[in-house]
A and B are shown apart, each in its own frame.
Chain A
């Protein structure tokens, strides 16, 4: 019995000692001279806050924005008499593009003129009859008739006029076509003198001011990406932001990826439709303390960072919230502005626990 008690006592004493020993180890300071830091390549950097989201990098292709693409059709059958632009030109909204002569239009103009003459005539009769009626020279019936006549002529004229106007801007007997929007003339399907009709697209004008970038995200990333977050378009040196406005509801059968649309303003027109680019999308907003993974060593199952205290390092256990692309988001253990070692920390670990202890898997 006594022996047993003694054994228990021994064991507990041993266990307790071991525990203390371990605790002590983490409290140890690691002294390092500047020279040693330099030679071992240990770099010190202040702890900073940074965005906490994971950056999803996905391949993407730049597309035209269908909301900002324009086609130019002739509203009438006719002959192209004049062309103001050519493919590749940049046009602003309202700039003249082409003039079209249309016999239909000419007829209409003739009719309009006739109608106007009729209207003028009717107006004069009406005005005379009105005066006569007021002087009680003629009867009301007659006045009324001429009024009706005038109204009709006017109606006829106005109807014709609005018909003509509906074709657009008329210059002489020609219809002047103006650009419906700002953009590049990306297609020109007409030459001078050609006959055109309603089912013939004359020009295509695309605006590159705002482009759509379609990316293909894997399913997991797609789930994490929120509509409305901003993203980055990376292509060589190009680095531009955009806003995610659509996340696909279907998975592509071949690549098994989900379409993500990002709307990009393109004021300098450096993005071009058809480009293969990379989208970098942060999955979450918000800031927290993030440190490079290289700053953290695992010692006996604990994550430890090394805080620089002017002439020595103090190992400190930290808690990691999560890991993002080579960085740890620190839950607690470090304050903003504290200086920590960010490279060569494997050496600090060695100084702390010795080379051999690495083998422990507690």
Chain B
């Protein structure tokens, strides 16, 4: 094979050029993302149920939908939230289910669900997006004072801006905040009695006198005329002219104008608002479609926003507030920086250690080619360039040169030694000599990383790409080392004068003395290592655990819960107060808040506020140094607010929510049936949680205490007059529920017509009862006649998971690792909370992933280590040698743990992956050394000189591979930019592990090997017959 490569070397060179060109192309076309989208396969079903309370939503809508969806294929979890007026059911499918297939399944079942819920409520699937779909936020605001927020939303946003942005590929939906323009028909119920009309009459008149019909064609002498029935209202005057009924007593016709006024206003009952820098604006969230590339969508939308500004009326500004691409850019730039500086450092070190410029240039050239090849694979397999995939490349940068180093080093050594031979055959022989160990090494690394592929859920989505890209690049680097590198050496490498640089000579001299020493003090040294290893294991118990370090997103979100009975106006005041406090920090660029929910999407009411605080870049911070510090300061300043405050970051919040359904680090869910009991338990849990050190932002979700206006039909009356409950509720729907009674057409715009009772009636039950709503049997019946109206507290939100209700306590953790916090919390709750039968508590949050990941690793890692052992055994055909090589694993662990402990990082999934990586690298060091010792033994050297000679000869490749790996990670450790957080623990562990494992491989392994060889020689004969012959 290698002969063919070398023979057709020109073709290989041309292929190389092709790979480079295609690689560069792939790199530029590679979709860029912040990190892999961890959204599970999930379909959301929304049902708007205006006027229904949370309990009714649960019983009438949520439960039927849940029961239908539970039976679907591959459904893992059904989660639901029932709010007053809104039912939200999330159906989670097994990982790997095709989202379109899942949506199809849900779609097929929706009619079933529709059948089981009362008529008039229409469950619809949520936008086909992900938890991280809120790609961009923009607002419209008026600087001229000519446009109200209603007009901005209903005219400009709805009819000008929205269609343009929706046309951008990848935009699934635009969620719009702000009041909506409507024509309000305000009846004066006092006059109803006088004119003898009822609310029912009015509603009927409005509905029936505002229609548009097509009448086909009318054939006439002028041609076929289009028949149009124009019964639609075009102006408020048209509405006023509508006749309601004929007053027979007086013989006059009563018109709408006699009993009502028409005003321009906003659609009542809205449950959300958007404020910015202390005033209300019209805010919009652009939601991207699933699998679309965030950055591409954002870039396109941003461009459109610029274009739209030009066509907007004077004074109206469209402003882009936030987008996820910002983070993507930052994060990817950070990783690219790490990658680039890693490359440079590795190049320098290689040059330094190789001592030959040409040789090192060839080695270094393998790096970019490796990366480009990896990009080609990534692009063609649909992977995106993100924190994890690029991070995988950054981590492996030192390893990618290894194959080439070994090959080039061997060729160079042979070339320099046998100057007279044919270059062609020297290179061929050199490659053939080392291709097996190189292949073996790569195989070991691949196996070592394989446990990561048992990850599932979010940790899988995060870290599988990392491992995968690393493996792809590693294999590419090997292929490159076998193909391009020999060709390149053929063309460019010349024999050197000396095989060793002066640096190596110094190192040799020093190392041989160290070796002497290590043979002398072998026993105490080994005992020392054992003690250190034990010590480091003890240290491990002192290290906290967490899923992954938090990403610094550059912005903070303050979540505020208010009393469930606050009005939207009151909530807006609090939002603006938070914004004001935040703006007092000079580091804050801008603040804006969402209050409640927009017309679609969020499952919250107006008592929930999210205030976004966009911070300046970290370098410009002065008042505080870290985000935690900022949070702490702001938390203190917000203490006066009548709200329960919590802190998070935009993307983190979404990920938390995806995991546990809750926007906080930890969600404690108390399951059971009786809301009252759940509430009490939640109180107790909250109390305990607050006492656990490290707990901040402890919030209990308010689930009750929402005042409701309950309408109980008086059945006897209804029966007596032949009125159905539906008729009663229909009137409520229009009179109180704000349902549209029609539309008003202005130009090409349609505006809703909505019946809205005057203030004095809406706020006053007694007055409400007096409104005449029906006329039956010549009698006028008022609201109070047909129904009891009462204001009573009721449930506010009902959460369910797999058909069981639960209440919720959530908290964030500060100044402590989440793992130990959760452990303590669970311990205390188990001891202190007595759960009634049928009640149980679960804990959710990112730590779950940590625990699950660790559980998986605790099985997978030993298996992979065993696999390595098997490989080693197959390679050496000796249990003894394999075991000696495996000694490197504990060696590496020591450094990893110490580095982790000293740097203060927690034991997270990335750091665990770091350990996995060093297992491989450390084993490789051992393999290099032991296999050389063995070959020297075969050559007839006695054990002592074989060990010594091997150690001295192999120090260069060992050092080069160790140092390149080590150096390649330095940038990741040093860089403080956004996006480097996740890789840091990994890099820390690897750096520490490589340090100790290399040190111990060089210092202790030779001595141990020699001792073991002598001690176990006899057994070895028994174990392996082959060995005897050797």
| A residues neighboring B (CB under 8 Å) | 32-33, 36, 39-41, 57-61, 216, 218, 253-257, 276, 278, 325-326, 344, 346-351, 354-356, 358-361
B741: min CB distance to chain A, Å: 23
Given contacts A57-B767, A355-B644, A358-B705, contact A256 B562 (CB under 8 A): no
Chain B residues near A351: list those with CB within 8 A.
642
**CB-nearest residue of chain A relative to B565?**
A346
Q: Are A359 and B576 in contact (CB under 8 A)?
A: no
Once the chains are docked, how many angstroms separate the CA of A362 from the CA of B190? 39
Q: Are A347 and B642 in contact (CB under 8 A)?
A: yes
Given contacts A39-B577, A41-B570, A256-B780, contact A350 B763 (CB under 8 A): no
Mark contacts of B747-785 with chain A using CB atoms, 8 A cut-off: 1 yes-contact digit, 0 otherwise.
000000000000000011011001010000011101000
Given contacts A40-B574, A347-B570, contact A59 B644 (CB under 8 A): no
Mark contacts of B578-593 with chain A using CB atoms, 8 A cut-off: 1 yes-contact digit, 0 otherwise.
0010000000000000
Partner of A355, one of B193, B561, B640, B704: B561
Chain B residues near A349: list those with CB within 8 A.
563, 642
**CB-nearest residue of chain B relative to A39?**
B577
Chain A residues near B770: list those with CB within 8 A.
218
Q: Is B126 an interface residue (CB 8 A)?
A: no
Once the chains are docked, how many angstroms separate the CA of A276 from the CA of B683? 57
Q: Is B334 an interface residue (CB 8 A)?
A: no
Closest 10 CB pairs of A and B: A350-B642, A358-B705, A347-B642, A359-B704, A355-B644, A356-B700, A39-B577, A59-B194, A59-B190, A59-B193
Main secondary structure of the interface of A (DSSP, over half): mixed
Most buried by A among B577, B642, B704, B779: B642
B675: min CB distance to chain A, Å: 9
Once the chains are docked, how many angstroms separate the CA of A203 from the CA of B766? 47
Q: Are B574 and A354 in contact (CB under 8 A)?
A: no
- A-B contacts besides A254-B780, A355-B562, A360-B679, 13 pairs, CB < 8 Å: A36-B640, A39-B573, A41-B569, A41-B570, A61-B194, A255-B780, A276-B191, A325-B764, A344-B570, A356-B644, A356-B699, A356-B702, A358-B564
| B residues neighboring A (CB under 8 Å) | 190-196, 561-566, 569-570, 573-574, 576-577, 580, 640, 642-644, 676, 679, 683, 686, 699-700, 702-705, 763-764, 766-767, 770, 772, 778-780, 782, 793, 796
Q: Are A355 and B702 in contact (CB under 8 A)?
A: yes
Q: Are A346 and B193 in contact (CB under 8 A)?
A: no
Partner of A254, one of B196, B700, B793: B196
Once the chains are docked, how many angstroms separate the CA of A354 from the CA of B577? 18
B951: min CB distance to chain A, Å: 67
**CB-nearest residue of chain A relative to B561?**
A355
Chain A residues near B705: list those with CB within 8 A.
358-361
Once the chains are docked, how many angstroms separate the CA of A355 from the CA of B573? 16
**CB-nearest residue of chain B relative to A36?**
B640
A295: min CB distance to chain B, Å: 14
Most buried by B among A36, A257, A278, A359: A359
Q: Are B780 and A325 in contact (CB under 8 A)?
A: no
Chain A residues near B704: list those with CB within 8 A.
358-359, 361
24 residue pairs bridging A and B, Cβ less than 8 Å apart: A39-B576, A40-B570, A40-B573, A40-B574, A58-B190, A59-B190, A218-B782, A255-B193, A255-B772, A256-B780, A278-B190, A347-B563, A347-B642, A350-B642, A354-B644, A355-B642, A355-B643, A356-B700, A356-B702, A358-B564, A358-B565, A358-B704, A359-B703, A360-B679
Q: Are B766 and A325 in contact (CB under 8 A)?
A: yes
Q: Are A359 and B196 in contact (CB under 8 A)?
A: no
Q: Are B570 and A346 in contact (CB under 8 A)?
A: yes
Chain B residues near A325: list those with CB within 8 A.
764, 766-767
Q: Are B563 and A358 in contact (CB under 8 A)?
A: yes
**CB-nearest residue of chain A relative to B640?**
A36
Chain B residues near A216: list those with CB within 8 A.
193-194
Chain B residues near A40: list those with CB within 8 A.
570, 573-574, 577, 642
Partner of B702, one of A39, A57, A278, A358: A358
Chain A residues near B699: list those with CB within 8 A.
355-356
Chain A residues near B196: list those with CB within 8 A.
254-255
Most buried by A among B193, B574, B679, B778: B193
Once the chains are docked, how many angstroms separate the CA of A276 from the CA of B193? 10
B558: min CB distance to chain A, Å: 14
Partner of A350, one of B194, B569, B643, B778: B643
Once the chains are docked, how many angstroms separate the CA of A255 from the CA of B770? 12
Once the chains are docked, how many angstroms separate the CA of A32 from the CA of B192? 47
Q: Are B563 and A254 in contact (CB under 8 A)?
A: no
Chain B residues near A347: list those with CB within 8 A.
562-563, 566, 570, 574, 642
Partner of B779, one of A41, A254, A360, A361: A254
Given contacts A276-B194, A325-B764, contact A41 B573 (CB under 8 A): yes
Chain A residues near B563: list those with CB within 8 A.
346-347, 349-350, 355, 358
Once the chains are docked, how many angstroms separate the CA of A58 from the CA of B192? 11
Once the chains are docked, how many angstroms separate the CA of A51 from the CA of B1? 106
Once the chains are docked, how many angstroms separate the CA of A355 from the CA of B562? 6
**CB-nearest residue of chain A relative to B578?**
A39
Once the chains are docked, how many angstroms separate the CA of A216 from the CA of B196? 12
Q: Are B763 and A326 in contact (CB under 8 A)?
A: yes
Q: Are B643 and A39 in contact (CB under 8 A)?
A: no
Chain B residues near A361: list those with CB within 8 A.
676, 704-705, 793
A346: min CB distance to chain B, Å: 5
Partner of B683, one of A39, A61, A356: A356
Most buried by B among A36, A253, A346: A346
Once the chains are docked, how many angstroms separate the CA of A256 from the CA of B784? 13
A237: min CB distance to chain B, Å: 15
Q: Are B643 and A326 in contact (CB under 8 A)?
A: no
B618: min CB distance to chain A, Å: 30
B664: min CB distance to chain A, Å: 14
Chain B residues near A36: list those with CB within 8 A.
577, 640
B114: min CB distance to chain A, Å: 33
Q: Are A348 and B642 in contact (CB under 8 A)?
A: yes
Given contacts A39-B580, A255-B193, A359-B679, contact A350 B562 (CB under 8 A): yes
Given contacts A36-B640, A39-B580, contact A346 B764 (CB under 8 A): no
A55: min CB distance to chain B, Å: 10
Partner of A57, one of B190, B570, B576, B577: B190
Once the chains are docked, how many angstroms separate the CA of A325 from the CA of B702? 30
